Amino acid sequence: MDSIPEIKNAFTVRMGVSTTLAYYTDSIINDFVKNAVVWGSGYKKWPFTEGRVSTTWSTSEESLYPEGWKPDSIRYLKIGGKRMQKLDFESYERFREDQPDAEDRVYSDRGNLYFINPNVDASGTTVMWGQYIPYVDEVSDSTPFSFKNSDGNEAIVQRMMAFAKEKENKIDESISYYNKAKEILDGVWKQIQDEQFAYQSKNRGMFEHFDVLIGTNNDGRNEDRFN
């Protein structure tokens, strides 16, 4: 089940309804699937909703988030190939107040705005990575889970069922479908975490340790420095 038409068909079959009925028209079902996709897409920071945007930095401290991106979701930012350090907003504000002329490569964000130290010693293209919100309309054919993890689309169907049961004022059933949708997405997230478990970070100091007496450096080799 990878396409939105398949998702809508699964919903109508399981509900045992016809779109010719006023209670579940095409318009209502389209609203269900849109809201369910937005909900599922925002449930976790999925790797398939990660985006990258490049723009020219004009030394302006405050800028709007890229259109369609989730607030507070910029996780990595570079200017002219130089990596910026992200600070929480309060720390950034204190830094700017206490050191207004400092050139530290720092940035922060708040809601739909991001802030870059205007004195930073970098210029050129700003490249940022973050999380976007998928756009879904009546002619969309897929979701962020399509052709990547179809279990996610099953969660979309379950969430649509929860919407429908809420509309029918069957609250217990609605909660049950909602919890099932969450359970499925939690399983998808665990699969992703298991795959990413092997990722390693490489943290190295600028200088290697070297013992001038015995010629030992930090790669484990012993060398006689004086021969």
Query: Who wins on pLDDT, 42 or 163?
Result: 163
Question: In this predicted model, what pLDDT tens digit does every residue of 74-129 receive, in sequence order?
Answer: 999 999 999 999 999 999 999 999 999 999 999 999 989 999 999 998 888 999 99
Query: Is the predicted pLDDT of residue 48 greater than 60, yes or no?
Result: yes
Average pLDDT of 55-64? Answer: 88
Q: What is the pLDDT of residue 57?
A: 82
Find where tokens 């988030």 sit.
Answer: 65
Q: What is the pLDDT of residue 211?
A: 39
Q: What is the pLDDT of residue 158?
A: 97
Rg over alpha carbons for the chain, rounded to the nearest Å, is: 25
Q: What is the pLDDT of residue 194?
A: 87
Question: In this predicted model, what pLDDT tens digit does every residue of 6-41 receive, in sequence order?
Answer: 999 999 999 887 655 567 888 899 999 999 999 999
Residue % of the chain over a pLDDT of 90: 60
Query: Who wins on pLDDT, 114 or 219?
Result: 114
Look up residue 100 and give its amino acid. P
Query: Is the predicted pLDDT of residue 155 greater than 60, yes or no?
Result: yes
Q: How confident is the model at residue 200 (pLDDT cuts 50, 70, 90)?
A: low
Q: What is the pLDDT of residue 125?
A: 92
